[in-house]
Structure 1
């Protein structure tokens, strides 16, 4: 509480601990884009066996963040290159660099590039540098990939209740349920594993995960995906806009902007889009397919139990002929379609 009051008064500068969280992102052989955040917070510790009150405490900690603005961060790549940047007022940083060297040469067998981040700001006598260096990873898709997969998270692979009345089920699931106890939609992990392999013997097809959840829930969602054995892929969330945020609001929705960025990053690659019929995935995905008519192999939309939403979605997809759109009730239906169309074995 004392730290919070000092922060509001602009007198909070003697940081107790430095935590750099790089987000899983993606790159091309000659262009990297990675982001993350620098906080004066202890690392989040979500345990498989913890009581309700500990879960609520973890949730509170994810949103009660102490950002470190104007912090200098250094990025070091395996090839010896170094880059520096500073965090913004909310503690976020971005590295967006064009490179001459081929990053793919430094990736592991699954296409992940390991990198290091160093905090270069002032360290006070009692400041705890939680790690030195902080480690992260970027995906550089294999040139032998057959296609990519871009998937929504909410109500597509993880039941959130986003269509529930007043969003009460969404709040309960996202804020008051342990990540280890969240149950993925049946068969989703197995389907994604098969799509990642495609017709090959190794997992070369890149997976991208989208959500309208804020970056505050990054560690939570990363833990859920890893624990339930979904293929590893970049996790793309969004910034929370506060009531006094004076920056321009983006013209396009978060998901639409992210999908376009991915498509433009890999112009040689075609994609499968996976979402749900609960909110706006149907309109966003069909708009993307119309804009990039030769790039989208198919669209899978999971059905949700919401009559009005289902009627709206059917009105969008019934006369859409640019690319196949399949409304599915189970993962098995999507898997059968993928197998019939030669996407998986």
Structure 2
């Protein structure tokens, strides 16, 4: 009787705790987050996180300051679940994996049968002692065979972020939400034109968004991208951060960006790529290293000019790229980049009557 009463007390206490967390927008149940994966007909990969604490999905967008601040803070109030068993089912084959210390999982496998181009749903299940604890759904992208693909940075490449000014960047994050943030003028149009260059809308050129922003901002960035109608694509972000690391958002570990881009190029050895970035952080130097490591795989590099201090170094990178036979457009305004893409024949020329 005594142990039964204690059990009821603990259950009631746990229920009250869950309700309290829920009132402030936090889910204390186990969640499997599955991000867009990618691959080709011979190899696929998908990744995500298992979290024992995560932000609840909001049904509406907040437009007032305190709401925006709290919505951002919640994205970092996460608790990863390390060494959690996860599995996915593909073509009747069950693939198993375990999460890392930060709750991250990565499946990479060779399917038994070729996979057609397009988006394919996938479900990842977290199991414990043979019991299904939680499941999450995502999609795997198999690009069509097109003339080129695009790999783009996010912050200050198309999303105005002030990455080189940490306090100003945090101010933007705290005072705006995904719906109120803005892209650089003309950036979305440039991306849409590249997406449809030498192809048709049902078979777009693939886009991969590779950023130093952390996985905490995945849903935030996708909401922004959908609102502004950026080309659908795969997002490859940086290591999940905890609440105590919030002030370091988007900073550090830029070297992993090289690895993530290299994996994309290795996955599609017969597809050339366009690289898009900016001069606020390390994009110029990472892209030059990629071009040297993968000769004849890069068609063109686009770098948005925002930092006067870094201009001499970036101009040197541009000269190095051109020595390698790779065009480089170092531009202030997206219309310059669009004109360059037309000149390169990457997108359709203007009509003669324009």
Where on the TM-score scale, by shorter chain, does this alignment land: which range?
A: 0.7 to 0.9
CA distance in 1, matches of 2:55, 2:182: 27
In structure 1, the partner of 2:249 is none
Report the counterpart of residue 50 of structure 1 in structure 2.
Answer: 63
For the aligned residues, what is the CA RMSD? 2.8
Deviations 1:105-125 (A, max 9, x none): xx5xxx11111122323699x
2:286 matched residue in structure 1: 284
Match for residue 247 of structure 1? none
Contact 1:37–1:92 (8 Å) recurs in 2: yes
Segments of structure 1 that go 5 or more residues without pairing to the other structure are: 7-14, 244-249
In structure 2, what is the Cα distance between the partners aligned to 1:217 and 1:241? 10
Distance 1:70 1:271 in 2: 36
Runs of 4+ in 1 over 6 A off after TM superposition: none
- Residue by residue over 1:251-283, the C-alpha shift from the partner in whole angstroms, topping out at 9 and shown as x without a partner, is 981221111111111000000000012221111
- Judge conservation of contact 1:278–1:310 (CA < 8 Å) in 2: no
Q: How many residue pairs get matched?
A: 314
Deviation at 1:49, TM superposition (A): 3.9
The C-alpha deviation readout for 1:88-139, integer Å capped at 9, x for no partner, is 22221111112231122xx5xxx11111122323699xx9x7xx75210011
SS in 2 for 1:17: coil
CA deviations over 1:145-176 (Å, ceiling 9, x no partner): 11000000010010110122xx1111122344
Distance change in 2, residues 1:227/1:118 (3 Å):
same
The CA deviation at 1:74 is 2.2
The 5-angstrom pairing of residues 170-249 of structure 1 reads: 170-202=169-201, 203-240=203-240
1:103 counterpart SS class: coil
State the 1:50 CA deviation: 3.4
Q: TM-score, normalised by structure 2?
A: 0.81
Give the Cα–Cα distance (whole angstroms) in 1 for the partners of residues 334 and 172 of structure 2: 21
| Local SS of the residue matching 1:318 | helix
User: SS at 1:117's partner residue?
Assistant: strand
Distance of 2:125 and 2:320 partners within structure 1: 53
Match of 2:328 in 1: 325
Matches of 2:60 and 2:211 in 1, distance apart? 23
Deviations 1:188-235, CA, capped at 9 Å, x for gaps: 112111111111222421100011011111111111111111111110
Shift of 1:75: 1.0
Instruction: State TM-score, norm by structure 1.
Output: 0.83
Matches within 5 A, 1:125-136: 133-136=135-138
